[in-house]
Amino acid sequence: MLRRTPYLYLLTLLLLSIGLHSHGLNYTGEGYGKTAEIARQNALIELSQNLYVEVQSEVSSIARSDGSLQGESRSHIRSNLPILGAKISITKGADGFRSEAQLDAKLVRPIYLAELKRLKSLIKSADQELNNVQNSAFQLDSLNRILTENDQFQKLNAVSILLGNQEVIPHPVNILKIKNTIQNYSTQIPTLSALAKIIATQFNQYSLADITILPVRSKSPTQLSRVLKGQIKEKWSSKGQKPANLHITYEEINDSLNFYTSISQPESLRTIKSYNFSLIKSGYKHLGYQPKTLDFQSLLHDGLVIQNTFQSYLNTDLGDNALEVSIGDTMRVFVKLSKAGYYYVINYSANGKAYLLELSDAIGNRKFVQYVSADDANKWISLGEFEIAPPLGTESLHLISSTQDLAQHLPTVYFNPDLELWESKVDPKTTINQVRTTANIQSFAEDTLTFTSLP
């Protein structure tokens, strides 16, 4: 459960200027973090989100109407457009690190164009290999390369067009046929340890910078996530100098777990390789592999109202994906609206309750609702620093925002004197449904952030 640290309760809101806007064809993103690396990653993610907002063709091609995506979470896909040639600066402040990432279209257009031509050539080469080899292992390698490089090509092409280049026509491939063939070739791996070894071997030419392992349609790590993460780290023997982030999602299909694995460059968010693996039932049935709150998480994250004209975002100084924290840890939470508007935040706790966060010492409903002026739009606004306290487990923050005043559209709450929190009178699922009945008001948008607290 989140508890606001007392000494920050009445502090003036800290504003961090974020460049979720373009100046001509120059794009910027800024990030804040407890470490320089987190700040840098947040700046790149912010820059990527900036591009995502503007690349409408990319949105329609990679995301479903409900915001979800097969094999990946909405939060991941909206912030993984590849960034090439960005200039990054990092400064240290009293409360952590601040980073800025800048993308100058004029300077990076040739870089994107050259990369697109290189990928097109690689896809064509891998496609031709399929007709020349009979060994299923070699064919599977070629299929996975085509899938990885084609996905990267499409994203790069969308960004490249936005930056002013002409569209590059891709090498024609049948993606659905490729995916079905990969599924037919997939080996049924017998144990989690064997899976960890295969993954570590497949990507061992890189040094491991970070790992995230999540179930599909969830932002919450499971017992299986933590066990597999530990085993991969143990078996990752590479001494390579190229750092890379490993991202894994999995889902159960026909009594086996399908794992979607990809590795990307931390400095550009560019996907380097991706492979699919399958683990048989006996290899995972003894572990907790489903989030305890999967149905709730699906309702919360996959039912988001997302608009192109008005958006809102949540983030923390620890990042915004696969967060694991311990009791006593502190976490600074940030909010951002793309234009002037109102917002409030709900905390869905591990005890199965929902709480409205007090954002000021105002009277009545005004203590829960904050207004963002036009001057402060597209800037990160700090809600202060919060401490992790019992009960421990998976919990989520839910940001609700609109260009119209939300003071009369709040869930019904009462003051719980034991916890000194404003608790919803109904369960979290009902609270979410009640919140979304206000979605018919003008420019309603949401975002969520989930974290797991451990002893």
Alpha carbon 220 to chain centroid, angstroms: 12
| CA 174 – CA 322 distance, rounded (Å) | 33
CB 333 within 8 Å of CB 386: yes
Question: For the chain, what is the largest distance between any 2 Cα atoms, rounded to a whole number of angstroms?
Answer: 74
| CA 254 – CA 257 distance, rounded (Å) | 8
pLDDT value at residue 187: 67
DSSP SS3 for 118: helix
Per residue in 294-303, pLDDT tens?
567 667 766 6
Q: Does the bond joining 391 to the residue before it have cis omega, within 30 degrees of 0?
A: yes
- Residue 375 tokens read as 């001057």
Q: Which residue has the higher pLDDT, 449 or 269?
A: 449
| CA 109 – CA 120 distance, rounded (Å) | 17
Band of residue 144 on the pLDDT scale cut at 50, 70, 90: confident
Q: Would the pLDDT of 273 be above 50?
A: yes
Among residues 133, 53, 21, the alpha carbon closest in space to that of 447 is found at 53
Band of residue 346 on the pLDDT scale cut at 50, 70, 90: very high
Q: Which domains does the chain have, with CATH numbers?
A: 186-291 (3.40.50), 292-455 (2.60.40.730)
CA atoms 108, 114, 119, 120: torsion sign: positive
Q: Which helix (H) or strand (E) holds 308?
A: none
Q: Which residue has the higher pLDDT, 96 or 232?
A: 232
Q: Would the pLDDT of 8 be above 70?
A: no
Burial of 425 (0-12, 13-18, 19+ CB in 10 A): exposed
pLDDT value at residue 292: 66
Q: Would the pLDDT of 157 be above 80?
A: yes
pLDDT value at residue 172: 86
pLDDT value at residue 344: 94
pLDDT value at residue 355: 93
How many CA atoms, within 13 angstroms, populate the side-chain half-sphere of residue 185?
A: 19
Band of residue 238 on the pLDDT scale cut at 50, 70, 90: low
| CA 126 – CA 265 distance, rounded (Å) | 22
Q: Would the pLDDT of 18 be above 50?
A: no
Among residues 277, 288, 285, the alpha carbon closest in space to that of 232 is found at 277
CB 191 within 8 Å of CB 285: no
- For the chain, give the mean pLDDT: 78
DSSP SS3 for 196: helix
Question: Across residues 426-441, what is the average pLDDT?
Answer: 81
pLDDT value at residue 64: 32
CA distances from 223 to 270, 348, 397 (A): 28, 21, 22
Strand pairing class (393-402; 444-454) = antiparallel
Which residue do the tokens 């979720």 mark? 20
| CA 44 – CA 28 distance, rounded (Å) | 9
Instruction: List residues bridging with 22 in a β-sheet.
Output: 27
pLDDT value at residue 367: 92
pLDDT value at residue 14: 27
| CA 205 – CA 243 distance, rounded (Å) | 9
pLDDT value at residue 149: 86
Question: Across residues 387-410, what is the average pLDDT?
Answer: 86
Question: Across residues 88-108, what is the average pLDDT?
Answer: 87
Q: Would the pLDDT of 61 be above 50?
A: no
Q: Would the pLDDT of 106 be above 80?
A: yes
pLDDT value at residue 143: 83
Instruction: List residues bridging with 398 in a β-sheet.
Output: 346, 448
Question: Across residues 243-258, what is the average pLDDT?
Answer: 87
Q: Would the pLDDT of 289 be above 60?
A: yes
pLDDT value at residue 293: 62
- Residue 14 tokens read as 């800290």
| CA 418 – CA 156 distance, rounded (Å) | 53
Rg (CA), the chain: 22
Among residues 24, 26, 41, 43, the alpha carbon closest in space to that of 103 is found at 26
Q: What is the DSSP letter of 10?
A: T
CB 454 within 8 Å of CB 325: yes
